Amino acid sequence: MNKGLWYNPPMQNDTIAAIATPPGVGGVGVIRVSGQDAFAIVLPLFRRPRGKQTLPASHTLTFGHIIDPQTQEILDEVLVAFMYAPHTYTREPVVEIQGHGGPLVLRRILHAVLASGARMADPGEFTMRAFMNGRLDLAQAEAVMDLIESETEAGQRLAMQQLRGHLSEQVEQVRHTVLGVIARIEASIDFPEDDIPTPTAPDLTPGIDAALVAVRSLLAGAEQGRLYRQGLRTAIIGRPNVGKSSILNALLRVERAIVTPIAGTTRDTVEEVANLRGIPLHLIDTAGITHTDDPVERIGVQRSRAAAESADVVLLVFDSSEPLAELDQRISDEVEAMGFGVLAADEEASAHKRPLLLVLNKSDREQHIERADLQRRWPNATLVETSTVTETGLQPLEEALALVALAGRNLHSESVLVTSTRHQEALRQAEEHLRAAQGSIEQQLPLDFVSIDLRAAYDALGEITGETASDDLLDKIFHEFCIGK
């Protein structure tokens, strides 16, 4: 008897099932079943040609039909893969049924599997089992969702790096270094009868310093990693009919927003994603900000303000074929009140500002805007002239956005980039505790104080890979996954 049939995973004893392909109609749909009874549940539902009922070889596709266990009705013509543990995604016995991708037929097959003894999988439960059974650590498990959701090739490569364990390896190296320092301290405290010498500052400082350098190196790339993963939210703001929708369409290279000569055509926010040198650029076209008595238009203006407040950067658009209007000035005041401004060379002066780019649209027409007024209002601002009719100025606009997004960072760095806010926070906590440990040594405090902070740093790093993650944290992470993954 094949021992794969009797593989019992260490954490779960029930068998789960779910549709693993996205909702909707497609050529092929997949139902995934995982657990110690996966083979016993699916095999009676599977009819092979010439009545064969033996298990096929592992990891091979076998042709046949899925039948309703109650009526013996043929539900679909399928290919089925029986995969023996532990060489599966979950390290449990897994069966994947590949049928036709119609919602009804997939639901009926799934119902037959559930009626035969499986239960419906929770969101992310397949990946959670892979984590619980030691196939993936927590950072790798999170990379699965990043890989699915990546919107650019650069984001996909970063997710693949993390899935392959590159981030986990670096974190574990730092944890190993910290644990070595802890061991030296605790050995001298716990076993004084063995005459283990009390470590001195020169004994401990190199290890702590090395760990701190490694943590700071990972943190240094965190903002760039966040951009690759989450993208740059860019709100296109201005009064009605300055060409905001035309700019959105031009940056997307597709006619996404409706454009007419009539002011107020856009009454709601329109959001689409463009690829800006590997970074997802979330462009938000907004309704023109103006005073209006129209209730629908008023809601659109409110949403425009909300979009600007949540943006990383604002494109403040003016119609260069007309003089600056009082409404332009009022919108400028609003944008500044939201915290957008010109980033100064002085980091402290720019600490609480989000970047702003000025766009003078309709440059193909006779010019009437007073640039001096804009420069007085926004000194040192980056100002880009565009025309969506002649397509001039679009490349400089993209370059200006890239400069704001990347801030001089190297996009093509091969180093590991931290893409998760959760990981970034854990690294910050580790850095804080390592600095506290350094401070305790410098102040010649008892080694117990040093050990407490080092333990805290060790545990903070363990939250990244999952070794010290709480059940609540695991539940939160995996419930963000889709059902079937």
Same domain, 148 and 128: no
Q: Is residue 373 part of a domain?
A: yes
Q: Is residue 172 part of a domain?
A: yes
Neighbours of 10 (CB within 10 A): 9
Tokens 């104080």 — which residue?
449
Final residue belonging to a domain, choices 135, 157, 174: 135
Same domain, 322 and 459: no
pLDDT over 50 at 350, yes or no: no
Q: Is residue 221 part of a domain?
A: no
> For residue 125, what is the domain's CATH number?
3.30.1360.120
Q: Measuring CA to CA, which residue among 329, 332, 353 is closest to residue 341?
A: 353
Residue 362 backbone class (left: φ over 0; alpha: ψ -120 to 50; beta: rest): left
Final residue belonging to a domain, choices 378, 406, 434: 406
Q: Is residue 475 part of a domain?
A: no
User: What's the pLDDT score for residue 280?
Assistant: 85
State the first-to-last Cα distance of the chain, in angstroms, to the nearest integer. 30
Same domain, 58 and 128: yes
Same domain, 165 and 41: no
Q: Is residue 417 part of a domain?
A: no
Q: Measuring CA to CA, which residue among 449, 465, 461, 429 is closest to residue 204?
A: 449
The contacts of residue 471 (CB under 8 Å, 6+ apart) are none
Same domain, 207 and 282: no
For the chain, what is the mean pLDDT?
83
Same domain, 82 and 205: no
Cα Rg of the chain, angstroms? 29
Does a cis peptide bond (omega within 30 degrees of 0) precede residue 280?
A: no
- The widest CA-to-CA distance across the chain, in whole angstroms, is 91
Q: At 263, is the secondary structure helix, strand, or coil?
A: coil
Same domain, 158 and 25: no
Q: Are 86 and 104 in contact (CB under 8 A)?
A: no
Same domain, 83 and 164: no
Q: Is the pTM of this model over 0.85?
A: no
pLDDT over 60 at 9, yes or no: no
Residue 291 CA to residue 99 CA, distance in Å, equals 56
> For residue 154, what is the domain's CATH number?
1.20.120.430
Q: What angle do CA 111, 116, 122 make, to 5 degrees?
A: 60
Using 50, 70 and 90 to split pLDDT, how confident is the model at 5?
Answer: very low
Q: Total structural domains in the chain?
A: 3
Provide the residue range defining the domain that includes 307.
Answer: 226-406
Q: Is residue 477 part of a domain?
A: no
Using 50, 70 and 90 to split pLDDT, how confident is the model at 156?
Answer: confident
Same domain, 313 and 207: no
Same domain, 118 and 154: no
Mean pLDDT, rounded, for 125-142: 92
Q: Is residue 10 part of a domain?
A: yes
Same domain, 248 and 369: yes
pLDDT over 50 at 196, yes or no: yes
pLDDT tens-digit readout, 384-404: 999 988 888 999 998 888 887
Q: At 65, is the secondary structure helix, strand, or coil?
A: strand
Final residue belonging to a domain, choices 354, 378, 406: 406
Token reading at 481: 């996954």
Same domain, 201 and 243: no
